[in-house]
């Protein structure tokens, strides 16, 4: 992936093409692939820091992070995805690493809460996230609350 670049931006810093590419990636993965007709545009993007890898204007991996007190009492990471284009290239690992570093650098804490799809529990535990035992269905997909202290 030669021309791949990572970007970290607040909502105000997005260019219009970047915002379009990010929203397209989210809808392609969560709504179309995972077949979840849920409101992706939830009015939280304005409060998030957005992290993504792109190549030639196409998003390869993406997530958004929040400071304390926005989604949870703790900071949080959400909308984590890699697009079909990018699977199997370990971009997900880099993405979470960047997300954790961004939270530590910008929000000065390493306490993070996430809502993880169950098949990713092992993946997240590799970054120090622990299963809180709180399990629930979100858009018909089993999720578990995880916390990193």
pLDDT (0 to 100) of residue 50: 98
Determine whether 61 is exposed, middle or buried from the number of CB atoms within 10 Å of its CB (0-12, 13-18, 19+): buried
Residue 20 to residue 58: CA distance in whole angstroms = 10
pLDDT (0 to 100) of residue 85: 87
pLDDT (0 to 100) of residue 42: 95
Maximum alpha-carbon separation in the chain? 41
Q: Helical H runs in 5-120? A: 16-26, 91-107
pLDDT (0 to 100) of residue 37: 85
Residue 54 to residue 5: CA distance in whole angstroms = 6
Distances (CA, A) of 103 to 64, 87, 139: 10, 25, 27
- Model pTM score: 0.94
What is the pLDDT tens value at each position of the chain, 149 positions in all?
Answer: 568 999 999 999 999 999 999 999 999 999 999 888 888 999 999 999 999 999 999 999 999 999 999 999 999 999 999 999 898 888 999 999 999 999 999 999 999 999 999 999 999 999 999 999 999 998 889 999 999 99
């Amino acid at each position: 992936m030669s021309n791949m670049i990572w970007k970290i931006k607040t909502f105000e810093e997005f260019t219009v093409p970047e915002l379009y590419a990010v929203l397209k990636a989210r809808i392609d993965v969560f709504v179309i692939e995972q077949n979840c007709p849920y409101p992706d545009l939830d009015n939280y993007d304005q409060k998030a820091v957005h992290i993504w890898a792109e190549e030639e204007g196409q998003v390869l991996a993406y997530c958004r992070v929040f400071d304390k007190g926005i989604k949870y009492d703790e900071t949080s990471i959400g909308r984590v995805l890699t697009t079909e284009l990018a699977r199997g290239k370990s971009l997900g690992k880099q993405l979470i690493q960047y997300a954790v570093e961004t939270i530590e650098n910008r929000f000065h804490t390493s306490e993070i809460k996430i809502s993880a799809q169950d098949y990713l529990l092992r993946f997240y535990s590799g970054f120090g996230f622990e299963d809180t035992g709180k399990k629930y269905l979100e858009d018909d997909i089993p999720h578990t609350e995880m916390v990193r202290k």
